[in-house]
Amino acid sequence: MKQVLVTIALLFSTYLSVYAQKEVYFNTTKTENIKVESMQGINIESSFSPISIIHNLKYQSKSGGFPLSIGYFNEKRITSCWTLTTRIVLDNFFFNVPTITFYNDTATNYYSNNNYISPRINGYKFEYQLGLHISIEPRWYFSYKKRYQAGKAKLNSGWYLSLPVATGVTLINTYKPPVNEYWARPTNYGSLGFNPSLGYRQAISKHMFLEGDVALLSGSIGFSKLDNKFIISPLLQITAGISIKVAYTFK
């Protein structure tokens, strides 16, 4: 019996010694040897705008939409704390829009009586859009090395700053805008958008992570044609967009 107890004690002490050596090695890893991971996988994403929600509640508007995207991503390490991610995504957008008709509205101003073409909301209707977009996203995991040393950086978990740049096309669109002969409508050729974001990623298993980010600035460059003239339309605005993503990785 003594021999059994001694053997168990020796094995247990050996295990503790090996485990302690691993911990010491982990905690003393040189910072220059700590690097983010490269990975690829699929993700599902949705987003919303708090400003739009508040606006609709304030004016009791029934307009709104629900985006749901699914796509493939490939995240490549380019420096110790930077990655470059390419994505190809199918965008589904379900939205509720007003149905509008136009009518002659006789209005009197200080100078004369004039007839105006005015819109009228007759109700609301659900519509659907399907789009395809491709994006490139440089990303800086600015807290990665500290989280790695604390053992909390699996699947690049932590805070990050990113600048995704995307372009896309519409494949299906059931929405037909109201027609007014007095309005000239341009022919759209697509756009290029960018949204600087602050986000956080958290691994929830060996192959899955959750991710959320906030974009406070939105920019785009639209390309269209009107009256045989090619138009480039830059737009930069302050916004508040929040996106939530769940992803499965296979390295």
Closest CA to 194 of 243, 135, 141, 241: 135
What's the average pLDDT block by block, 10 residues per block, for the chain (251 residues)? 43 42 51 92 92 72 83 97 97 82 56 56 81 96 94 96 92 75 65 90 97 89 80 80 95 74
Given 3-state DSSP classes, what are the helix, strand and coil percentages for the chain, each rounded to the nearest 5? 20, 60, 20
Residue 242 sits at the vertex; the CA angle it makes with 38 and 163, to the nearest 5 degrees, is: 45
What is the predicted pLDDT for the residue at 220? Answer: 82
**From residue 186, how far is each of 190, 222, 224 by CA, in Å?**
12, 11, 6
Q: What is the CATH number of domain 38-249?
A: 2.40.160.20
What are the residue boundaries of the structural domains of the chain, listed by start?
Answer: 38-249
Which residues are bridge partners to 97 per DSSP?
Answer: 125
